[in-house]
């Protein structure tokens, strides 16, 4: 192999060869790629809706001004799925490392084994893209026939006084559930099919830049310096800026209508800062919690978990990043929902239906993020099997190691989920305000609307969001413990470090 570069067919065969762990990695990566492809094709279908298409049962698709929001939501749903794909590429990493080291022993160059590893990820991405496209077009065929039902077509009219009135007309017509009547351009289909394999391959190449593959093993060059407090500063700056945004806009007498682009742009930058600070700050939170606990606790489970949080704080950050992003977006949606439902006529179910669709999308995002956490927790247990086997051989009970694993995942996640929930709802209340002027008294009987109404904090929805997420994380972490018994076997002491 060292004398010449192996042929592409040979590299592809070596990439597709492996054991059960390698097969599981390819299957999980392909499933994630399929879900991403379906999301991209759905977003492109919404973008391709023309004036002669429709109508649709979801009124949000009948409004040209609201379709960009639907596209953004669909693209955002692809983010946790891509996190999941990235985490799935680590499944069975120790077995893959040994296989790559064996190829180096057989004469392969470092470039050869990197190419083989990248081709494995790209192959899984291609399978996922084809599977996703097949699922998408099969769904179009099954849901392509319109159904006769009553559809609410709503239009906004601006009166001479500047007030916006929503006119709702109910029609009995043939409506599509999804934009299955839209013809997708060929270039958009090709783009969706290429996006996932190329992104997966690029991520694999970047990850392998920090790896040295020798005939004697695979060395991962990890950053050992402790996390800084800069992400927490970013979180405070972003969330704090959004929380006082309404006050700043009122003080500076900013006109929302005249400067809508700048207004929304600054708010988006602040939200991105808050999200980045939250995601990268989880490592700082884990490190601080571990540093505080280690010299103070005596229980072995707490002590092992604390030392793990000190030695590998970025593991918790990598595992929980998608979960925290989903919670942040979910809290922002719940705060926005409360404001919009006060601003609109209760008899108009347009916004209520739209937010129900958003809730469904967020539920899918949280589910995918938690599934990724399951994958990465299980892989972490398998990757540390030599250390776990050493502790077991020294007399540490398995129940202590199981409790330490649960604490290591759950303890840093509790404050960060609370921070994500608070940052999201503060962002919504700061951007849209804490008081609103509800619709006219004629449209809201039995309520005095002459004065502004305070926007309540949606405590119930936020509690369900945060509590449900933490419960799901605890459940999947407990499921990952099924790998603990095999990883604590004394035979794992022979595993290469």
Positive or negative CA dihedral for 84, 303, 280, 121?
negative
- pLDDT recorded at residue 332: 87
At 420-459, the pLDDT tens digits run 898 888 888 877 777 777 665 444 444 444 567 778 888 9
Q: List the structure tokens of 425.
A: 């709802």
Query: CB–CB of 212/252 below 8 Å?
Result: no
Q: CA-CA distance, 285 to 416, in Å (whole number)?
A: 8
Flag whether pLDDT at 55 surpasses 80: no
Give the closest residue to 306 by CA, choosing from 286, 290, 322, 329: 290
- Other C-beta atoms closer than 10 Å to the C-beta of 345 total 17
The backbone torsions φ and ψ at residue 164, rounded to the nearest 5 degrees and listed phi first, read -95, 125
Task: Using the Cα atoms of residue 395, residue 396, residue 397 and residue 398 in order, give the sign of their dihedral.
Answer: negative
> Does 207 lie in the same domain as 308?
no
Parallel, antiparallel, or unpaired: how do β-strands 217-220 and 453-454 relate?
unpaired
Considering the domain boundaries, does residue 460 fall inside one?
Answer: yes
pLDDT tens, residue by residue, 81-104: 777 777 776 666 666 767 777 777
pLDDT: which is higher, 490 or 211: 490
Residues 373 and 461 in one domain: yes
Are residues 345 and 200 both part of a single domain?
no
* 172, 205, 221 - which closes a domain: 221
- When mean pLDDT is compared over 7-16, 140-149, 453-462, the highest value belongs to 453-462
- Asked if 312 and 269 count as a contact pair (C-beta separation under 8 A), the reply is no
Residue bearing the bigger pLDDT, 114 or 15: 114
The answer on 331 and 302 residing in a single domain is yes
Domain count for the chain, please give it. Answer: 2
Q: According to the per-residue pLDDT averaged within each range, which of 94-98, 107-111, 244-248, 422-426 is highest?
A: 422-426
Average pLDDT of span 15-36: 75
Average pLDDT taken over every residue of the chain: 76
With respect to residue 153, please indicate whether it lies within any of the assigned structural domains.
Answer: no
Residue 83 lies in a domain: yes
Taking the CA atoms of residue 20, residue 23, residue 24 and residue 27 in that order, the dihedral angle to the nearest 10 degrees is -160
Would 434 be classed as within a structural domain? yes
Q: Can you give the residue range of the structural domain that contains 440? A: 226-497
Q: What is the C-alpha separation between 38 and 35, in angstroms, rounded?
A: 5
Dihedral angle sign, alpha carbons of residues 481, 485, 490, 496: negative
Q: How far apart are CA 146 and CA 232, in angstroms?
A: 51
Do residue 417 and residue 315 come from a single domain? Answer: yes
pLDDT of residue 361: 81
Helix, strand, or coil here: 155? strand
CA distance 234 to 383: 32
């Amino acid at each position: 192999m060292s004398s010449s570069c192996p042929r592409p067919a040979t590299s592809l065969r070596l990439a597709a060869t492996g054991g059960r762990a390698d097969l599981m990695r390819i299957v999980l990566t392909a499933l994630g790629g399929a879900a991403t492809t379906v999301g991209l094709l759905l977003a492109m279908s919404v973008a391709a809706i023309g004036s002669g298409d429709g109508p649709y049962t979801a009124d949000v698709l009948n409004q040209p001004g609201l379709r960009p929001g639907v596209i953004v939501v669909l693209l955002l749903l692809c983010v946790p799925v891509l996190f999941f794909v990235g985490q799935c590429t680590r499944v069975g990493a120790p077995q893959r490392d040994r296989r790559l080291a064996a190829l180096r022993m057989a004469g392969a160059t470092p470039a050869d084994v990197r190419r083989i590893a990248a081709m494995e990820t790209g192959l899984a991405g291609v399978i996922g893209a084809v599977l996703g496209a097949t699922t998408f077009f099969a769904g179009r065929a099954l849901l392509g026939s319109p159904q006769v039902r009553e559809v609410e077509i709503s239009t906004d009219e601006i009166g001479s006084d500047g007030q916006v009135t929503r006119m709702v007309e109910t029609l009995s017509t043939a409506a599509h559930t999804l934009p299955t009547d839209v013809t997708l351009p060929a270039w958009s289909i090709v783009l969706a099919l290429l996006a996932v394999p190329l992104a997966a391959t690029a991520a694999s190449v970047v990850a392998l830049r920090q790896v040295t593959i020798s005939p004697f093993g695979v060395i991962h060059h990890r950053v050992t310096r402790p996390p800084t407090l800069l992400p927490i500063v970013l979180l405070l700056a972003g969330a704090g800026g959004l929380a006082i945004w309404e006050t700043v806009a009122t003080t500076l007498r900013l006109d929302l209508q005249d400067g809508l682009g700048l207004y929304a742009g600054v708010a988006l930058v602040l939200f991105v800062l808050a999200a980045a600070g939250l995601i990268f700050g989880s490592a700082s939170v884990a490190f601080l919690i571990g540093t505080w606990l280690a010299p103070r606790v005596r229980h072995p489970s707490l002590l092992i978990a604390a030392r793990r949080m000190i030695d590998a704080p970025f593991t918790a950050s990598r595992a929980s990043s998608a979960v925290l992003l989903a919670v942040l977006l979910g809290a922002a949606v719940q705060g926005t929902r409360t404001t919009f439902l006060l601003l609109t006529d209760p008899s108009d179910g347009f916004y209520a239906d739209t937010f129900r669709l958003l809730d469904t999308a967020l539920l899918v995002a949280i589910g995918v993020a938690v599934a990724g956490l399951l994958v990465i927790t299980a892989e972490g247990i398998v990757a540390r099997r030599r250390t776990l086997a050493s502790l077991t051989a020294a007399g540490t009970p398995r129940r202590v190691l199981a409790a330490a694993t649960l604490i290591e995942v759950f303890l840093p996640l509790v404050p960060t989920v609370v921070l994500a929930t608070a940052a999201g709802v503060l962002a919504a209340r700061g951007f849209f305000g804490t008081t609103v002027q509800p619709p006219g008294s004629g449209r809201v009987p039995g309520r005095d609307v002459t004065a502004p109404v305070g926007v309540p904090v949606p405590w119930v929805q936020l509690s369900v969001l945060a509590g449900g997420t933490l419960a799901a994380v605890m459940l999947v972490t407990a499921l990952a413990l099924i790998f603990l018994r095999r990883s604590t076997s004394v035979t794992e002491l022979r595993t290469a470090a």
